[in-house]
């Protein structure tokens, strides 16, 4: 048995960041991971591998448009997607990043314990590895076990014709017709990938719009672009009630606003994720569960003294950067409670940037127009399209818009919502705008370089007052 100041269970973007921060603050720290390599779901089965697929699809689409940019000799009709090569590149990038995390553990003198971590109660952590079970003690513990793809009764993934987001990252053949259930971030990203690579795509969503947690205008315009540019069949307000599985196809039965029967090569079930809280020993603690998640306070503390929980096991936005910030808060509070002079600051969940890497991309931060009105704000909004912007036309992506949601009396900016080229990069400017508490008038007076995509920000701010210059 070894003793540590801090043990972190799970090496995803929340867990490994928490471990590094704990070690930096002088805590003897251990990191427990059940996989053979570090990085968690985000690196191996989520954010990073999905983005490699998206980049391959983007390059594929660009090559088809080479002649428009004055590049001759590319036979667009002869282009084909080599899925084995896409997967190979994905694996290479993932491995490189995993080795980087291993290096950081060594650099910061974090002890890595390989095996399945389980809470043993009273400050004990059981690590079930190949050589058996070891028990370690810790003054403080951070639970960061993440999440897994959610199954639906009757639509359970089999890895062959009915897939989840883990399976599709390793798919060896291009689906001739891919039906995707769920039009959240995961669903629309894979819809964008496979539509650009050449698959017929049908997107099915129970709610009334794609990307239902985003501003309504974003979901409406994205659906229009998907339908027009990528010829997708989008069926909102619809559900799949059953699926028939065959060796070479599936038949999906739909009910709702757009009912019917669909025969497809594959079905991707992308209806969200489920927290990994079962089997980790929470019943050995006083931690309280909240609809499947672990209840925590602003400093990520559970009801069990000395136990923290972060990331996808708590009811906060399930995003890698949120988990990382929560890991910092938990590690710093753990260190503070052990006498270290550090002052943790809780996460401001109204300032969480969101990114969806479809084509066009989506980036957002703050309140949607609906949420702002529901909170009682007197709201004014301004939208401006990318179409007139020189840089958007230069890069060949003059579609989408930016929308600013503001409070009317003082011009406080409550939310910024972007659909368009490089939106997931532009949202960083949005983070700075809200962090700096700029008003609409202050944003109008902010100078941006020309030609850049960032010029759209003051135009949208002027649109709030109905006086955009390039309209």
- Count other Cβ atoms within 10 Å, centred on residue 394: 12
Residue 471 has pLDDT above 70, yes or no: no
Do the beta carbons of residue 469 and residue 382 sit within 8 Å? no
For 234-281, write each residue's pLDDT tens digit.
999 999 999 999 999 999 999 999 999 999 999 999 999 999 999 999
For 170-212, write each residue's pLDDT tens digit.
999 999 999 999 999 999 999 999 999 999 999 999 999 999 9
Q: Which candidate, 413, 409, 410, 417, places its Cα nearest to that of 383?
A: 417
Residue 75 has pLDDT above 80, yes or no: yes
For 319-356, write each residue's pLDDT tens digit.
999 999 999 999 999 999 999 999 999 999 999 999 99
Distance CA 290, CA 28 (A): 31
Residue 67 per-residue DSSP state:
G
- pLDDT for the residue numbered 470: 64
For 79-128, write each residue's pLDDT tens digit.
999 999 999 999 999 999 999 999 999 999 999 999 999 999 999 999 99
Do the beta carbons of residue 421 and residue 392 sit within 8 Å? yes
Q: Which candidate, 179, 372, 193, places its Cα nearest to that of 270?
A: 179
Tokens 């921060």, residue? Answer: 21
Q: Give the pair of three-digit tokens for residue 234.
A: 């989008």
pLDDT band at residue 131 under the 50/70/90 scheme:
confident
Q: To the nearest whole number, what is the mean pLDDT of the chain?
A: 96
Tokens 């039965």, residue? Answer: 253
User: pTM of the predicted model, to two decimals?
Assistant: 0.94
List of domains in the chain: 3-148+275-337 (3.50.50.60), 162-265 (3.50.50.60), 360-464 (3.30.390.30)
* pLDDT > 70 fraction of the chain, expressed in percent and rounded: 99
| Cα 211 to Cα 188, 364, 470, distances in angstroms | 8, 12, 29
Residue 443 has pLDDT above 90, yes or no: yes
48: enclosing H helix or E strand: helix 47-64
Distance CA 392, CA 456 (A): 10
For the segment 372-398, the average pLDDT, to the nearest whole number, is 96
For 19-50, write each residue's pLDDT tens digit.
999 999 999 999 999 999 999 999 999 999 99
For the segment 142-161, the average pLDDT, to the nearest whole number, is 96
- Greater model confidence, 467 or 337: 337
- pLDDT for the residue numbered 76: 86
Q: Please report how many Cα atoms fall inside a 13 Å half-sphere around the Cα of residue 206, on the Cβ side.
A: 9
Strand-pairing partners, residue 109, are none
Active site residue 450: yes
Q: Give the pair of three-digit tokens for residue 260.
A: 């019917």
Strand-pairing partners, residue 179, are 202, 267
For the segment 442-459, the average pLDDT, to the nearest whole number, is 96
Distance CA 355, CA 424 (A): 5
- pLDDT for the residue numbered 50: 96
- pLDDT for the residue numbered 357: 96
Helix (H/G/I), strand (E/B), else coil: 28 = coil
54: enclosing H helix or E strand: helix 47-64
Distance CA 101, CA 81 (A): 31
Helix (H/G/I), strand (E/B), else coil: 243 = strand
* pLDDT > 90 fraction of the chain, expressed in percent and rounded: 96
Distance CA 39, CA 11 (A): 5
- pLDDT for the residue numbered 1: 75
Distance CA 296, CA 298 (A): 7
Please report, in angstroms and rounded to a whole number, the separation of the first and last CA atoms in the chain. 69
Q: Which member of 177, 266, 345, 450 is catalytic?
A: 450
């Amino acid at each position: 048995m070894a003793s540590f100041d801090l043990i972190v269970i799970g090496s995803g973007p929340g867990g490994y960041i928490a471990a590094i921060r704990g070690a930096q603050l002088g805590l003897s720290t251990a990191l427990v991971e059940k996989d053979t390599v570090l990085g968690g779901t985000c690196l191996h089965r989520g954010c990073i591998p999905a983005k490699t697929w998206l980049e391959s699809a983007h390059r594929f689409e660009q090559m088809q448009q080479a002649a428009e940019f004055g590049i001759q000799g590319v036979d667009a009709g002869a282009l084909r997607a080599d899925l084995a090569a896409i997967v190979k590149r994905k694996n290479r990038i993932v491995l490189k990043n995993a080795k980087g995390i291993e290096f950081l553990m060594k650099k910061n003198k974090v002890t890595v314990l390989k095996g399945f971590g389980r809470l043993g109660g009273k400050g004990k952590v059981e690590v079930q590895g190949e050589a058996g079970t070891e028990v370690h003690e810790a003054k403080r513990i951070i639970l960061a076990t993440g999440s897994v793809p959610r199954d639906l009764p009757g639509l359970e993934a089999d890895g062959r014709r009915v897939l989840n987001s883990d399976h599709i990252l390793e798919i060896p053949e291009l689906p001739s017709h891919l039906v995707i259930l769920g039009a959240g971030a995961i669903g629309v990203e894979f819809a964008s990938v496979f539509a650009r690579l050449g698959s017929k795509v049908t997107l099915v969503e129970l709610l009334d719009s794609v990307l239902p947690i985003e501003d309504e205008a974003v979901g409406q315009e994205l659906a229009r672009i998907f339908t027009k540019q990528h010829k997708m069949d989008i069926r909102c307000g619809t559900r799949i009630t059953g699926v028939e599985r065959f060796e070479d196809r599936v038949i999906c039965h739909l009910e709702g606003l757009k009912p019917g029967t669909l025969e497809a090569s594959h079905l991707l079930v992308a209806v969200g994720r489920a927290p990994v809280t079962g089997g980790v020993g929470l019943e050995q603690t006083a931690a309280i569960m909240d609809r499947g998640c672990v209840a925590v306070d602003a400093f990520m503390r559970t009801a069990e003294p000395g136990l923290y929980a972060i990331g996808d096991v708590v009811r906060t936005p399930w995003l890698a950067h949120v988990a990382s910030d929560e890991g910092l808060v938990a590690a710093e509070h753990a260190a503070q409670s052990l006498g270290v002079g550090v002052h943790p600051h809780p996460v401001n969940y109204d300032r969480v940037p969101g990114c969806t890497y479809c084509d066009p991309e989506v980036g957002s931060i703050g309140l949607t127009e609906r949420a702002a009105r529901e909170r009682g704000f007197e709201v004014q909004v301004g939208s401006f399209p990318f179409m007139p912007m020189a840089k958007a036309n230069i890069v060949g992506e003059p579609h989408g818009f930016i929308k600013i949601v503001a409070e009317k009396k003082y011009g406080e900016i409550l939310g910024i919502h972007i659909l368009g080229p490089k939106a997931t990069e532009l949202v960083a400017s949005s983070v700075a705008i809200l962090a700096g508490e700029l008003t609409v008038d202050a944003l109008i007076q902010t100078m941006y370089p020309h030609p850049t995509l960032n010029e759209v920000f003051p135009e949208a701010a002027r649109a709030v007052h109905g006086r955009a210059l390039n309209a």
